[in-house]
């Protein structure tokens, strides 16, 4: 799983570098269109994802002392925060699409849409992974002694979170 | 060999090797036509030779994959093949269809072939690698479906292992993506767009799953390393393959009328495509280093290592060389592509088929490995073929760099044919390497002749 996570981070890292490279060739365009992004939703989503990560940390702590039901509940709370993120992000996407913005509008929007969409898909995958782990916790597959599955799922979720924490300032804020 | 029905693989391997030889012969003919334009004209024009060269390659690899599946699936599943009869029937149908198609290519002009086979009813012909008449394509679908049914039933009713599940996924993907060869939109951009769904998603997607699972099977058998360890590698490799390979299709979408974002998507994702191939190399070497037994079939272990290295060089390194959009802007469709194609197809797919043949054929004859002398001969064939493909690739790369420079990069670009004249020395050297390759292939086959003094 660690190799998988590192590989995912590598993909995003190259994407971020490409963004920086493209921006350096066209700073004005990037700054101009950056203003059109919805920073409020972006900030709210940052808080939501970080909160989700907290829930996941609590889930890992719960399983370490053998509290499986609590672990499951925290994991589900994590899935819930993911769902909230997805809803808000969809509102943001819908707004952009309503304005007729697409991947071909300009280089900035190409990066904005690609990066946020790839991340969006990772949030959904993260939710699926957390839900699967919660399901197994419910079934009693983990214990204080053996809970690698919970930690692995948590690691993936933190990766999704980490990518957003880089993505949000990079694409929405930094000028 | 644990199960009688594994023996059907022999038919497939034999036909694969026959087609392999045909492929090389037509490659040699084409190679000569590069420098002697009217060689064998009008009997075998260049376009026909090229079509036979590429089509026989695809068919023999498919035959090899099918043979590999028929060999390894019963053993992995712990049961006889669901229907050995169906496997034999499909073999003959496939062989006859492939044979008739090649005869059609050679005997009549391509336009006539299209007319005879009713291409106007459902036009699918005339596209690179998918030149087969529509009825041949339908035949391939029938064969693939029956094959999947046969293999699928064997896997699903037997013991399920990661190797067979990955293999089955790859084979299923192979069949599904082939269906796009029937989609032939009038819009040239869309045509190319979906054409790559067959070509790219085969070789840089589902075929990699087939490659990885065949290699994993051979490594499990020859090294005795725990299945669990090998399965973990397999998971990581296929995950990386799919993460990078699917969107990596974008590296074929530069400047052909598709949206500009493909230049970014294609460059970024395909830049990472060497990673799964590099992991494959690590996987093979790690596994062989940790081997728990010395398998008597040394030649097979050599092939397995060779596959991992050459796949990384040919597909990974030579692919990366021209995958970034700004580079591809100049190299698109030059001899650089041909160089990559030769080493990648040999390194990844031809070699893995020869690996499984090298492993399975002695076992089908009831011996764990061939005699020492035969194995030495086989190793000679390995080195002759591998070294000569490296030279073919280097010469074509040299030709490609010169071509790119003279025809596209310099301030005073020259026309295509003038450049071709100037780089003909490289084509001659490539042709010479091709002859060595042919000798290597012959030695490979000779090393499988039954021992004369074998006890009756």
Question: pLDDT digit string (tens) for B232-255?
Answer: 999 999 999 998 999 999 999 999
Mean pLDDT calculated for residue range B354-365:
96
Nearest to B55 by CA among B104, B10, B116: B104
What digits encode the pLDDT tens for the residues B185-216?
999 999 999 999 999 999 999 999 999 999 99
**Is the pLDDT score of B455 beyond 60?**
no
Which residues numbered 76-95 in A keep a CB inside 8 Å of some CB on B? none
Q: Give the pLDDT confidence score for residue B161 in this predicted structure.
A: 95
Separation CA B114–CA B133 (nearest Å): 6
DSSP string, B268-320: HHHHTTHHHHHHHHHHHHHHHHT-SS--S-HHHHHHHHHHHHHHIIIIIIHHH
Separation CA B137–CA B185 (nearest Å): 17
Mean pLDDT calculated for residue range B24-30:
97
Separation CA B28–CA A20 (nearest Å): 48
**Is the pLDDT score of B163 beyond 60?**
yes
**Is the pLDDT score of B134 beyond 50?**
yes
CB contact under 8 A, B261 and A4: no
DSSP at B180: G
Which residues numbered 141-160 in A keep a CB inside 8 Å of some CB on B? none
**Is the pLDDT score of B397 beyond 90?**
yes
- Distances in Å between the Cα of B116 and the Cα atoms of A13, B131, B267 are 54, 14, 43
Q: Is B259 on the interface with A (CB under 8 A)?
A: yes
Q: Give the pLDDT confidence score for residue A27 in this predicted structure.
A: 92
CB pairs under 8 A between A and B: 36
Distance from CA of A14 to the nearest CA of B (A): 7
Residue whose token pair is 């707004």:
A95
Among chain B residues, the shortest Cα distance to A8 is held by B243
Among chain A residues, the shortest Cα distance to B248 is held by A11
Give me the half-sphere count of Cα atoms (radius 13 Å) on the Cβ side of residue B26.
Answer: 24
Helices and strands counted in chain B (H then E): 19, 0
CB contact under 8 A, A114 and B259: no
Q: Give the pLDDT confidence score for residue A8 in this predicted structure.
A: 86
- Residue B8: pLDDT band (50, 70, 90) is very high
Contacts with A106 from chain B: Cβ below 8 Å = none
**Is the pLDDT score of B132 beyond 50?**
yes
ipTM of this predicted structure: 0.85
Provide the 3-class DSSP secondary structure of residue B255: coil
Separation CA A122–CA B291 (nearest Å): 38
Q: Where are the beta strands (DSSP E) in A16-157?
A: none
Alpha-carbon A112 to chain mean position = 15
Residue whose token pair is 């809970």:
A147
Separation CA B242–CA B143 (nearest Å): 26
**Is the pLDDT score of B454 beyond 70?**
no
CB contact under 8 A, A11 and B236: no
What are A128's two structure tokens? 């699926």
Mean pLDDT calculated for residue range B314-331:
96
DSSP at A168: I
Q: Give the pLDDT confidence score for residue B452 in this predicted structure.
A: 67
Mean pLDDT calculated for residue range B16-44:
96
**Closest Cβ–Cβ partner in B240, B265, B267 for A7:** B240
**Dihedral over Cα of B369, B373, B377, B380: its sign:** positive
Calculate the average pLDDT of chain B: 95
Contact present, A123 and A158 (Cβ < 8 Å): no
Mean pLDDT calculated for residue range B270-288:
95
Q: Is B363 on the interface with A (CB under 8 A)?
A: no
Helices and strands counted in chain A (H then E): 6, 0
CB contact under 8 A, B259 and A15: no
Mean pLDDT calculated for residue range A108-125:
95
Q: Is A18 on the interface with B (CB under 8 A)?
A: yes
Q: Is B232 on the interface with A (CB under 8 A)?
A: no
Provide the 3-class DSSP secondary structure of residue B322: coil
A101: left (phi over 0), alpha (psi -120 to 50) or beta: beta
- Residue A6: pLDDT band (50, 70, 90) is confident
What digits encode the pLDDT tens for the residues A60-93?
999 999 999 999 999 999 999 999 999 999 999 9
CB atoms within 10 A of CB A122: 20
Q: Is A121 on the interface with B (CB under 8 A)?
A: no
Contact present, B426 and B395 (Cβ < 8 Å): yes
Task: List the domains of chain A with CATH numbers.
Answer: 2-173 (1.20.120.80)
**Dihedral over Cα of B202, B206, B210, B211: its sign:** positive
What digits encode the pLDDT tens for the residues A7-52?
889 889 999 999 999 999 899 999 999 999 999 999 999 999 999 9
Calculate the average pLDDT of chain A: 93
Contacts with A14 from chain B: Cβ below 8 Å = 268, 271-272
What digits encode the pLDDT tens for the residues B63-111?
999 999 999 999 999 999 999 999 999 999 999 999 999 999 999 999 9
**Closest Cβ–Cβ partner in B240, B244, B268 for A18:** B268
CB contact under 8 A, B243 and A10: no
**Is the pLDDT score of B153 beyond 70?**
yes
Q: Is A101 on the interface with B (CB under 8 A)?
A: no
Q: Is A15 on the interface with B (CB under 8 A)?
A: yes
CB contact under 8 A, A104 and B275: no
B399: left (phi over 0), alpha (psi -120 to 50) or beta: alpha
**Closest Cβ–Cβ partner in A7, A10, A114 for B265:** A114
Q: What value, to the nearest 5°, has the Cα angle with vertex B16 and ends B10 and B21? A: 130
Rounded to 10 degrees, what is the CA torsion of B391, B431, B343, B374? -80
Nearest to B114 by CA among B134, B130, B95: B134
- Residue B86: exposure state from Cβ atoms within 10 A (0-12, 13-18, ≥19): middle
Q: Give the pLDDT confidence score for residue B293 in this predicted structure.
A: 93
Mean pLDDT calculated for residue range A107-120:
94
Q: Is A7 on the interface with B (CB under 8 A)?
A: yes
For chain B, percent of residues with pLDDT exceeding 90: 97
Mean pLDDT calculated for residue range B342-358:
98
Contact present, B287 and B231 (Cβ < 8 Å): no
**Is the pLDDT score of B453 beyond 80?**
no
Distance from CA of A43 to the nearest CA of B (A): 27
Q: Give the pLDDT confidence score for residue A1 in this predicted structure.
A: 77
């Amino acid at each position: 799983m660690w190799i998988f996570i590192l590989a995912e981070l590598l993909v995003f890292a190259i994407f971020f570098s490409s963004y920086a490279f493209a921006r350096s060739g066209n700073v004005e365009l990037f700054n101009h269109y950056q203003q059109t992004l919805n920073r409020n939703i972006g900030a709210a989503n940052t808080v939501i994802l970080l909160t989700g990560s907290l829930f996941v940390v609590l889930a890992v702590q719960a399983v370490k002392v053998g509290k499986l039901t609590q672990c499951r509940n925290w994991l589900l709370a994590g899935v819930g925060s993911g769902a909230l993120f997805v809803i808000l992000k969809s509102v943001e996407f819908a707004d952009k699409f309503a304005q007729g913005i697409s991947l071909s509008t300009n280089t900035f929007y190409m990066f904005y849409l690609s990066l946020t969409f790839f991340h969006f898909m990772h949030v959904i995958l993260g939710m699926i992974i957390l839900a699967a782990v919660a399901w197994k916790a419910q079934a009693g597959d983990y214990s204080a002694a053996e809970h690698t599955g919970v930690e692995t799922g948590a690691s993936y979720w933190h990766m999704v979170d980490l990518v957003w924490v880089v993505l949000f300032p990079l694409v929405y804020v930094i000028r | 060999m644990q199960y009688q029905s594994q023996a059907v693989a022999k038919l497939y391997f034999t036909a694969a090797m026959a087609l392999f030889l045909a492929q090389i012969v037509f490659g040699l003919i084409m190679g000569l036509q590069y420098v002697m334009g009217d060689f064998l004209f009008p009997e075998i024009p260049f376009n026909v030779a090229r079509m036979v060269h590429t089509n026989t390659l695809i068919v023999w690899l498919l035959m090899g994959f099918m043979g590999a599946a028929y060999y390894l699936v019963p053993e992995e599943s712990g049961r006889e093949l669901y229907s050995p009869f169906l496997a034999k029937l499909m073999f003959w149908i496939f062989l006859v269809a492939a044979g008739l198609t090649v005869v059609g290519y050679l005997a009549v002009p391509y336009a006539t072939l299209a007319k005879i086979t009713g291409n106007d009813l459902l036009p699918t012909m005339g596209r690179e690698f998918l030149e087969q008449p529509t009825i041949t394509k339908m035949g391939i679908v029938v064969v693939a479906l029956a094959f999947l049914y046969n293999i699928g039933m064997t896997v699903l009713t037997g013991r399920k292992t990661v190797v067979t599940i990955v293999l089955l996924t790859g084979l299923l993907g192979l069949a599904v993506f082939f269906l796009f060869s029937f989609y032939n939109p009038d819009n040239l951009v869309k045509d190319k767009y979906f054409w790559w769904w067959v070509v790219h998603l085969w070789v840089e997607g589902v075929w990699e799953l087939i490659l990885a699972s065949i290699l994993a099977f051979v490594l499990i058998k020859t090294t005795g390393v725990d299945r669990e360890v090998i399965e973990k590698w397999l998971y990581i490799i296929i995950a990386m393959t799919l993460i990078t390979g699917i969107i990596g299709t974008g590296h074929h979408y530069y400047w052909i009328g598709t949206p500009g974002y493909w230049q970014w998507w294609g460059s970024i994702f395909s830049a990472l495509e060497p990673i799964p191939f590099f992991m494959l190399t690590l996987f093979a070497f790690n596994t062989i280093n940790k081997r728990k037994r010395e398998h008597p079939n040394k030649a097979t272990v050599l092939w397995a290592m060779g596959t991992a290295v050459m796949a990384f060089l040919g597909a990974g390194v030579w692919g990366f060389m021209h995958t970034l959009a700004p580079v591809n802007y100049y190299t698109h469709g030059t001899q650089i592509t041909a160089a990559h194609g030769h080493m990648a197809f040999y390194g990844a797919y031809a070699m893995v088929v020869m690996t499984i043949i090298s492993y399975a054929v002695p076992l089908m004859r009831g011996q764990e490995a061939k005699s020492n002398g035969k194995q030495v001969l086989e190793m000679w064939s390995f080195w002759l073929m591998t070294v000569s493909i490296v030279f073919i690739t280097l010469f074509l790369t040299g030709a490609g760099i010169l071509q790119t420079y003279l025809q596209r990069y310099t301030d005073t670009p020259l026309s295509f044919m003038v450049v071709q004249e100037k780089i003909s020395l490289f084509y001659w050297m490539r042709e010479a390497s091709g002859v060595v390759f042919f000798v290597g292939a012959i030695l490979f086959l000779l090393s499988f002749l039954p021992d004369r003094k074998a006890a009756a």
